Amino acid sequence: MGKPIRVALCDDHTMVRSGLHLILAEEADIEVVGEAGTAKEAVELAGRARPDVLVMDLGLPGASGLAATGQVRQASPDTRVLVLTAHNDVVYLRRAFAVGASGYLLKEAADIDLVQAVRTVASGRQYVHPILGATALHMGAGSEFTAGPGGRLSERELEVLRGIARGHTNAEIAAALHVSVRTIETHRRHIQQKLGCSTRAELVERARSAHLLADDELR
């Protein structure tokens, strides 16, 4: 047998982490190398332990699991993030993969599918919970709205479009994505060219039509 898959866990509920730990500990090819309860702890753990897979909850205190996913990928580029969440929503699925996740599993199925999901993302493949459907990652709700005369938006351009739709400034979007303001300005110009939109109002409407925002972000 080769080296075991080294897995770290991040969930703010101790009992949930204990349950996940027990499930994984039963597998001879999996080793749990650490646990975290916040986004900050998850990033520190990833940088320190360099796990093959980090199982990440989205609903964390303070910074969200989505924010932590991108930071984990920066701290440990070889670590693949498996999102484990109660959100059965293609919006969250697309957002998770946009920030660097490799897998998306619903908590209700963790006792059955967690081991398979961990092995799948550890092997370099992507995992999407069957309820959501593998095509949701590539197509998604409203995918026809994320392409225009200039072509289809990239995942980074989708992130920028979400930021614009939320009312964030170029500087705020740049800080969130850890890039320069000039880079955001370039992305914004490309988005406008691709979609054929010239105003912020048109971009916001396009984001809403494409279901790029969660319900609680819509106004």
Q: What is the 3-state secondary structure (H, E, C) of 112-165?
A: HHHHHHHHHHHCCCCEECCCCCCHHHHCCCCHHHHEECCEECCHHHHHHHHHHH
Q: Is 5-138 a CATH 3.40.50.2300 domain?
A: yes
CATH of region 143-213, choose from 1.10.10.10, 3.40.50.300, 1.10.40.30, 3.50.50.60: 1.10.10.10
Amino acid at 219: R
pLDDT at 4: 95
What tens digit of pLDDT does each residue of 22-78 get? 999 999 999 999 999 999 999 999 999 999 999 999 988 888 888 899 899 989 999
The dihedrals phi and psi of 2, each to the nearest 5 degrees, come to: -80, -170
**Three-state secondary-structure class, residue 110:** helix
Structure tokens at 19: 């349950």
Running DSSP on this structure, what letter comes out for residue 154? P
The closest alpha carbon to 95, from 155, 171, 144, belongs to 155
- Ordered by start, the domain boundaries in the chain are 5-138, 143-213
Q: Tell me the HSE value of 165 on the side-chain side, using a 13 A CA sphere.
A: 25
Q: Residue 24 and residue 90: Cα distance in Å, rounded?
A: 27
pLDDT at 33: 97
Calculate the CA dihedral of residues 203, 204, 206, 210 and round it to 10 degrees: 140
With a cut of 50, list the residues of the chain below it in pLDDT: 134-135, 137-144, 215-219
pLDDT at 159: 82
Centroid of chain to Cα 159: 11
